[in-house]
Each structure stands twice: as C-alpha cells, then as structure tokens.
C-alpha cells in the first residue's frame, strides 16, 4: 500500500488546516457521510452518493459530483481498509447567515485500519433506552446528515454513562427514532418494523440497503412508530450503520431478546 502522511484532502489536495472563514466551521453549513472502505473500495457507495446528492439539492449546494466520486474512489484505493469521511462545505463566506453563490468545498479524510472488519453481523450487545431526546427539525433538514451533530454529542455522553455500545433514542414526543449513531429495526408481533424518519433522525445508508433488499425479496417491513411505553413489545432488535453494519441486541434494559431472528433475517438478505 502507498505510504502517506496527510489524511485530509481539500478538493483533492492534501491539507492540514481549515480556513477560519469556512462556513462549515462558522455555521455547520455542510453535509458529511462516513464510508466503510474494504480492499480499496468504498462500500455502499451508491447509497452514500444518493444521500449527498439529496442533501446538496436541499441545501442548494453547487457540488461537482463527478469529481467527488472520482476523488472518493482514488482515495479509497489509497486507504485500502478503514473509513473515508466526506465533508462538503459551502466554503468561505462573509460574516452573516446569507450564503455566497459559489462551488462547494469537498474535504476527504482517511482513517486507516490495519485489517478490514468485514463481518456483516457483529457480536450481540446489551442495550437500553436513553432518557435524552431528539428534537424535531425543519422539513428541509429532515433525515440529512448535516454538520450540526450536537444532539448526538450530548446523547453519546449519556450512552457512555451506561456502558452500552449503542442505545435507543426517542424524540420529544417519546417515539423511538434510532440509536445514537445508528438506525434500528425491531421485531414486533412477528413483523419487522423500522421507524419512519420524518421530523428527526438520519436516513442512513445501511438502512437504505436493508430496505432495498427486503423489498426485493418481498419480506414484509413496516415503517411504523413505536412509543417509549411500547418498547416492551420488541421481540428482536438490531442497530445498523455503514461502518458497524448490523449489530444485534441480546438484552434490552435487562430483557432477553431473540438474536436468532436477526440472524435469520440477515441470512435471507445476504
């Protein structure tokens, strides 16, 4: 593998700093996605690209996606195994919220791993429900992975106090939305459900992949809300994201869950 020292690139050129007038720094005016790279290839790439295209459209960003894709594949080959993080900023601007009309800036960061973790299904974890809640966002931002992740920072602090790897999070109406950094699927009354991502939460790429595969194989999936008071109805549960892939839950708040149901589902899908 090619040796390199710099792990951050700005518009394809190695860099070691961000401009203090960059709106990503000033206002969180941007998007990002984290891509698992295995054997030099970006995994679930089409889903990542779709998410960036949708986000760029909603935020009125001027993004050269052809160049972004070329850079992502080039840097993935350089990385080999690990995580490739793509950050899109609106770029530098004058003081004030009104954004300039100009091409977006694309940062790519490389986080190397000595060995790729290709296990689709991780070891089961113990989990629970956090007391912290997600707020509701304006419709243009619903589902987007913007650079403002303060909710997740606060929730991640609470998660650490429990010692769990991941935990369920509800919104301000006490409706289950997702994990701190993952989407979730749960089995209720023998049927697979996943929370609809409407007023809060992230439209994750692994979630999109699983939905696509379930629909292709005619496996029933309900986009159904579940309240905090109904969490006891969950028979099986797994978290998912692009990096960890599928993480079954063996115990939820001390209650034993059906891990084999998760194994059966993943065996059908992959």
pLDDT at 114 (0 to 100): 66
pLDDT in tens, 168-178: 999 999 999 99
125-269 matches 8-112 in CATH topology: no
Measuring CA to CA, how many Å separate 145 from each of 33, 86, 108? 7, 11, 16
Q: Which CATH superfamily is domain 125-269 in?
A: D-amino Acid Aminotransferase, subunit A, domain 2 (3.20.10.10)
Q: Report the range out of 6-10, 95-99, 185-189 with the highest average pLDDT.
A: 185-189
Whether the Cβ atoms of residue 147 and residue 34 lie closer than 8 Å to each other: no
| Residue whose C-alpha is closest to residue 193's, from 165, 168, 164, 173 | 168
Residue 165 pLDDT level (bands cut at 50, 70, 90) = very high
- The CATH code of domain 8-112 reads 3.30.470.10
Domain ranges of the chain: 8-112, 125-269
pLDDT in tens, 200-222: 999 999 999 999 999 999 999 99
pLDDT greater than 80 at residue 56: yes
pLDDT in tens, 255-270: 999 999 999 999 999 9
């Amino acid at each position: 593998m090619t040796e390199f020292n710099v792990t951050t690139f700005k518009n394809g050129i190695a860099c070691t700093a961000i401009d203090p007038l960059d709106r990503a720094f000033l206002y969180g005016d941007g998007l990002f996605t984290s891509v698992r790279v295995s054997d030099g290839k970006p995994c679930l790439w089409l889903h990542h690209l779709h998410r960036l295209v949708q986000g760029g459209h909603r935020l009125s960003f001027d993004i050269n996606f052809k160049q972004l894709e070329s850079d992502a594949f080039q840097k993935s080959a350089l990385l080999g195994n690990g995580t490739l993080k793509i950050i899109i900023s609106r770029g530098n601007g004058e003081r004030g919220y009104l954004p300039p009309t100009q091409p977006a800036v694309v940062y790519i960061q490389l986080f190397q791993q000595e060995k790729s973790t290709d296990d689709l299904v991780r070891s089961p974890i113990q989990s629970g429900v956090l007391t912290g809640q997600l707020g509701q966002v304006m419709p243009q931002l619903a589902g987007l992975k913007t650079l403002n992740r303060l909710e997740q920072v606060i929730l991640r602090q609470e998660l650490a106090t429990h010692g769990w790897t991941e935990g369920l999070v509800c919104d301000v109406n006490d409706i289950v939305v997702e994990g701190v950094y993952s989407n979730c699927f749960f089995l209720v009354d023998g049927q697979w459900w996943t929370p609809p991502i409407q007023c809060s939460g992230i439209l994750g790429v692994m979630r999109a992949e699983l939905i696509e595969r379930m629909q292709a194989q005619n496996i029933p999936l309900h986009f159904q809300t579940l309240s905090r008071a109904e969490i006891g109805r969950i028979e099986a549960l797994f978290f998912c994201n692009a990096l960890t892939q599928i993480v079954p839950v063996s115990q939820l708040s001390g209650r034993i869950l059906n891990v084999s149901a998760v194994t059966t589902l993943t065996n059908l899908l992959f």
